[in-house]
Structure 1
């Protein structure tokens, strides 16, 4: 059984808070990590990682990196070659965190979920975790603390104070 399948099977039958973070690509902090059933978060994937994710059931890639962030290959073309949907949704930092973007991200995630597994990535997964937490708190009705837990599992680190501030401003429950 692949580590992807194992992660997916474990998460299908468990609450995400009681599972270890499994990284099917080794110990790198930015390697794609299964943070919820059929949901992967990470830093910039390699072409090989995209291919492995496709074999694991990922059907959509959501890239949160800005166009001017350096990447050594054409990720959109590689995703297309693999038959993956590809969405560029740049989030450059705390200044881009707002209700409108959180709602748009939630809609992108809903569409991706209907098609199969999803990889959401930026450079280090910090922006991924921020958007996951905001989606959970502002769009899905989770408490801020529960949303932060899932956001951290997806890579939230330095953007956590900005996520908390926005969620509180928008009236999310603590």
Structure 2
């Protein structure tokens, strides 16, 4: 059986291909840009299930290990921000390991409640703004990440105490909530 290509069939095939291509590249109807490959990959990756996703492109949570790095990279993570002091993970050079895995890396050591000050919040905000691509922000449990996120919401973005604490919870705030509330009430 021989299939002949006629001009009409070619035009019909080209029209179908054009419709399919334009549909695949279209932005969502709500006006947001279509998600990038990295954003889609990180949304669907099982390795990221143990981390919160408080905002698009940002994942937050607890400690990572060298064994996690290949999966995080494959999941689309392009940058890691570590809030845990190096002393919490002796024997694991996280900076070197993350960079060797092909991801960007920044450290902002927050040892505990005493380090939750305006300078740390401003530094945290700058690191988030400068991160290139999908980012994982972590500490030992995610609690310090959430504390900084709550203080950032209040001090830099004007959220009231309840809204700031709720934002912090989305990022991982638990045990430091009382400390965050105390700092917010003193700063009123």
TM-score tier after normalising by the smaller chain length = 0.7 to 0.9
- Are the structure 2 counterparts of residues 60 and 7 from structure 1 closer, same or farther at C-alpha, using a change threshold of 3 Å? closer
Unaligned runs of 5+ in 1: 10-22
Aligned residue for 2:78, secondary structure, equals: strand
TM-score of the aligned structures, taking structure 2 as reference length: 0.70
Residue of structure 2 equivalent to 1:146? 163
Q: Structure 1 residue aligned with 2:182, among 165, 168, 171? A: 165
Unaligned runs of 5+ in 2: 1-38
Q: Distance in 1 between matches of 2:58 and 2:48?
A: 17
1:129-164: CA deviations, max 9, x gaps?
111111111112222222211211221111011111
Please tell me whether Structure 1 or Structure 2 has the larger radius of gyration of its CA atoms. 2
Aligned residue for 2:53, secondary structure, equals: strand
Aligned residue for 1:92, secondary structure, equals: coil
Q: Structure 2 residue aligned with 1:107, among 99, 103, 126? A: 126
| CA RMSD in angstroms, aligned pairs only | 2.4
1:47-66: CA deviations, max 9, x gaps?
34333332333222111111
TM-score of the aligned structures, taking structure 1 as reference length: 0.75
Q: Structure 2 residue aligned with 1:40, among 19, 37, 59? A: 59
Q: How many residues were matched structurally?
A: 150
